[in-house]
Amino acid sequence: MATTQHIDLILINGYLEALDLAVIEQMLDLYIEQSALYLTAINRAVVNMDEKAWQEQCHKMKGAAASTGLSQVHQKLLLIEKSHEDAETKAQHLQALSLLNQQAIAAFQQWFAEQ
């Protein structure tokens, strides 16, 4: 898995210059917890066919992914946040987003292990 494919190394290395490695680890841990909550809320929005909740939760997760440096997750959320597709298509987006999120977290953890 290519770390640079999933994470914004310029942003993360900038954090590394300004912050202790332990702070970056806490940031990742917080993102992992929050992203699970966002994904659950996004799923609930799909099930309830709640367009407003879909957009709100995608927007929140998009910001969290961007500030954590998970560039591909951020890009995926940019694409789907304002989509007005049917529930089946949104469920497919959610499945792809969940997988992408797992891959990005693994890439970040791999980067962290190499520091």
Tell me the pLDDT tens digit for each residue of 15-54.
Answer: 999 999 999 999 999 999 999 999 999 999 999 999 999 9
Instruction: For residue range 43-67, list pLDDT tens digits in order.
Output: 999 999 999 999 999 999 999 999 9
6 to 38, 60, 63, 85, 89: CA distances (angstroms): 19, 19, 16, 26, 23
Give the whole-angstrom CA distance, residue 3 versus residue 59: 24
Domain boundaries, the chain: 3-109
CA 32-86-44 angle, to 5 degrees, is: 35
pLDDT at residue 1, as a whole number? 45
Count of residues making up the chain: 115
The predicted model scores a pTM of: 0.92
pLDDT at residue 83 is higher than 80: yes
**57, 58, 68, 56: which is closest to 30 by C-alpha?**
68
Which CATH code, of 3.40.50.300, 1.20.120.160, 3.40.50.970, 1.10.10.10, is assigned to 3-109? 1.20.120.160
